[in-house]
Amino acid sequence: MDINDMIKPGMTHEETFLVEEQHLAPHVGSGAVRVLATPWMIAFMEITAHRLLAKHLPEGQSSVGTHVDVRHLAATPLGDSVRYRAEVLAVQGIRVQFAVSAWDSQELIGEGKHERAVIDVARFLKRVSAKANAK
């Protein structure tokens, strides 16, 4: 089955995550202020896009992140909830482009673009294993 039959521009998915201690900038080493770390904001954006695809792909297929271009616009404190949204913008071959965004309880805190590639899991793992064995 063609990916274009399963994934269409305009499809969306949202997830909400609570900002916990491990998500703070000092915890991951990305800053000294106790606010949501940019790497975690990006990770949650990727998780949201991945889960959108996972709902529509057949067994044996998944997706991997290939590109991220986002801006972190505002700080979010420990304990706040952040709502993440991924929207499919385009499907080109195995590549799926998303608009991603994040809002805390008060404002837009991040936005940008993200790209994922749809993979056959068994084939992908075979390539990874061959690479690991070549060391």
* Residue 38 designated active-site: yes
CA trace torsion 38, 44, 50, 52 (10° rounding): -130
CA-CA distances (angstroms) from residue 71 to 42, 54, 123?
Answer: 9, 25, 34
Round to whole Å and give the CA distance between 19 and 78.
5
* Residue 56 designated active-site: no
Residue 44: give the domain boundaries.
Answer: 3-133
For residues 77-94, average pLDDT: 98
119-128 pLDDT tens trace: 999 999 999 9
Q: Please report the pLDDT score of residue 1 as a whole number.
A: 61
CA-CA distances (angstroms) from residue 75 to 11, 68, 78, 94, 100?
Answer: 28, 19, 10, 34, 17
* Residue 23 designated active-site: no
Q: How confident is the model at residue 4 (pLDDT cuts 50, 70, 90)?
A: confident
CATH number at 27 reads: 3.10.129.10
- Which of 14, 38, 56, 111 does the annotation list as catalytic? 38
- Which of 15, 23, 46, 114 does the annotation list as catalytic? 46
The total number of structural domains in the chain stands at: 1
Q: Please report the pLDDT score of residue 2 as a whole number.
A: 84
> If you average pLDDT over every residue of the chain, what do you get?
97
3-state SS, one letter per residue, for 1-58: CCHHHHCCCCCEEEEEEECCHHHEHHHHCCCCCCEECHHHHHHHHHHHHHHHHHCCCC
pTM of this prediction exceeds 0.85: yes
SS3 category, 104: coil
- Which of 13, 72, 114, 115 does the annotation list as catalytic? 72
In this structure, what token pair is assigned to residue 55? 């709902």
Q: Report whether 79 contacts 19 (CB < 8 A).
A: yes
